[in-house]
Amino acid sequence: MATTAAPPTPAFSPLYQQIKALMLRELQAGVWRPGETIPSETELAGRFKVSQGTVRKAIDELAAENHLVRRQGKGTFVATHGEQQTQFRFLRLQPDDGVSEGTTRRFIDCRRLRAPADVARALGLRSGDAAIQIKRVLSLRDAPVVFDEIWLPAGPFKGLTAERLSDYRGPMYQLFESEFGVRMVRAEEKIRAVAAQGESAELLALPEGTPLLSVERLSLTYGDKPVELRRGLYHTATHHYRNELS
């Protein structure tokens, strides 16, 4: 029997999904900027020629994906990494007892380099393209706990210097948003246990061989485009990485 391959489904797409895609374009294009409000539901309904309920469902999903934040009576806002709630949204390390206190950052290094092959692959660059490498140490109770090596594509982050990093008050991702228009939407982490050695042992003031948590984070912006590779080493004697499963 000659069966012709059925077309891969004529792609039925609900109206609210189309609206959602249009709204994502506004976000990606920077028309709606982090922290600002977007037009009201009724206005969007008029603009897109659909009912308010349909706009509402689109916004519901965008809010569930952390793109937008609803605030009753005030409006719907573009999510940002600068808010209190989401201050360290991506940092899952926390002290074994109570809540974290004074976090201090110390930038060790910030230089422009050719991206090594593995970094280039992760960031979707061509091998040899320019990239920015940042090294820093986070201390959580006057004791160094995190050593991060951060790689960024040089293009979108042109002009990033050690000074701007250390001068900036607030989360690094907020600086990326406001100064470079790059918003981290989500991230994937690969976690391992490794032994401290060389630079990491020295900067965290630990004997070589101390077990450390290795956290490799790939951060993505709109359209799942990778824009940051972060290799963190966490000392977990008095802190732990917290995760929720559901």
Partner DNA sequence: TAGTGGTCTAGACCACATC
Partner DNA sequence: ATGTGGTCTAGACCACTAA
42 contributes a contact to DNA by CB under 7 A: yes
Angle at the Cα of 12 from the Cα atoms of 9 and 17, rounded to 5 degrees: 140
163 binds, among a copy of itself, DNA, none (CB under 5 to 8 A by kind): none
DSSP for 160-185, written as a single string? --HHHHHH--S-HHHHHHHHH-----
| Residue pair 219/153 in contact by the 8 Å Cβ criterion | no
Residue among 20, 136, 217, 230 that touches a copy of itself (CB under 8 A): 217
Comparison of 33 and 240: residue with beta carbon closer to a copy of itself: 240
155 contributes a contact to a copy of itself by CB under 8 A: no
**Tokens 């995190």 belong to which residue?**
146
3 binds, among a copy of itself, DNA, none (CB under 5 to 8 A by kind): none
Query: Is residue 212 classed as helix, strand or coil in its secondary structure?
Result: strand
CA-CA-CA-CA torsion sign (172, 167, 169, 62): negative
Comparison of 80 and 110: residue with beta carbon closer to a copy of itself: 80
Residue among 54, 80, 178, 221 that touches DNA (CB under 7 A): 54
Binding site for a copy of itself (CB under 8 A): 64-66, 89-90, 92, 185-195, 209, 211-214, 217, 234, 236, 240-246
